[in-house]
Amino acid sequence: MHRTLGLIALAAVSTLPAYAGAQPYPGVTPVPRTTDPGKLRSYASAREASERIKLAFAEESRSDWGPAGAELERVIALHPGEPQGSTAYYDLGIAQAQLQQFDAAVISFGKAIDLDPGFLAARTNLVTVQLLRGDLAAARKSADAFVALAPDSARGLYQRGIVALRTGDAATALSDFERLLGSNPGYALGHYDLAIAEIKSGQLAEAERELRTAIGLAPSYARARLALGAVLLRQNRRAEAKTAFDAAARVAQDVALRELAASLRDAIKD
């Protein structure tokens, strides 16, 4: 009886798919055992790099950028392998950017990418830092490389769209924001930036539609209301523009934006 039950259980187990029996956790990493001085030095160096990155990570999480940067410089001096090498450069780039050392941050993110070309977080941060430096040509080149590697990345499409708008490339901005909204129709900022690209392309009716969509998604989006007023003014629809500026003044949280919207509203005479 017991033997029959055992055979049935065995048969049932054998019919399970292979992944059902798979170990969900990785096996224990074997402890390296050696007396070779070179290998021992290499293990010690890797361990030191790992511990220093851990310390720097904790410091950056507390916004202690200076000590974190110093720690990461020491990691880089150890010439660690991957992924510690690219991670150290990436984290160093963040510390440098936070300390307004944008030139150094560009170099650090660039080195992280050299070590690990598929490092998308480094690529997007590189674009941000280049924008902060005001180097639009370099930002565009980096954004193009990012989008080529990750064509569906929301961040990649957004960043390249912003760079394209700032450089007057409305066609690329139109394409990128349309693709971004294809996956994210509820992203109000995407509709706003698509509208800006359409205005630059002379498509005022489409821009008005996108701005109204953005406002529908986010009624307190003052900048979108302000842009809508500007689009209506361009079409000489002054009464509607005045209403849009008035709405912007009422919803704006930012004092400067509120004053600006109110000034534009009051400048339109009935």
Partner 1 sequence: MTRNLVRLASTAIVALLLGAGAGLAHAAVTTLDDLANAQLVPSTEPALLGPINELGRNGWQCLPEQAAQSKAAMKAELPSY
Give the residue carrying structure tokens 């002379």. Answer: 202
What is the rounded CA–CA span in Å between residue 50 and residue 88? Answer: 9
Q: Which of 255, 254, 253, 219 is nearest to 244 (CA)?
A: 219
78 binds partner 1 (CB under 8 A): no
User: At closest approach, how far in Å is the CB of 152 from partner 1?
Assistant: 5
The window from 2-10, 16-24, 31-39, 55-63 that contacts partner 1 (CB under 8 A) reads 55-63
User: At closest approach, how far in Å is the CB of 164 from partner 1?
Assistant: 9
185 Cβ neighbours under 8 A, 6+ residues apart: none
User: At closest approach, how far in Å is the CB of 35 from partner 1?
Assistant: 27
**Burial class of residue 23 (count of CB atoms within 10 Å of its CB; 0-12, 13-18, 19+):** exposed
Nearer to partner 1, 79 or 234 (CB): 234
- The H-assigned helical ranges of 184-254 are 188-200, 204-217, 222-234, 238-251
Residues 171 to 230 in contact with partner 1, rule: CB under 8 A: 180, 183-184, 187-190, 192-193, 196, 199, 214, 218, 220-224, 226-227, 229-230
Write the interaction track for partner 1 spanning residues 114-153; mark x where CB under 8 A is met and - where it is not.
--x--xxx-xxx-xxx-xx-----------------x-xx
User: At closest approach, how far in Å is the CB of 120 from partner 1?
Assistant: 4
**H or E stretch including 200?**
helix 188-200
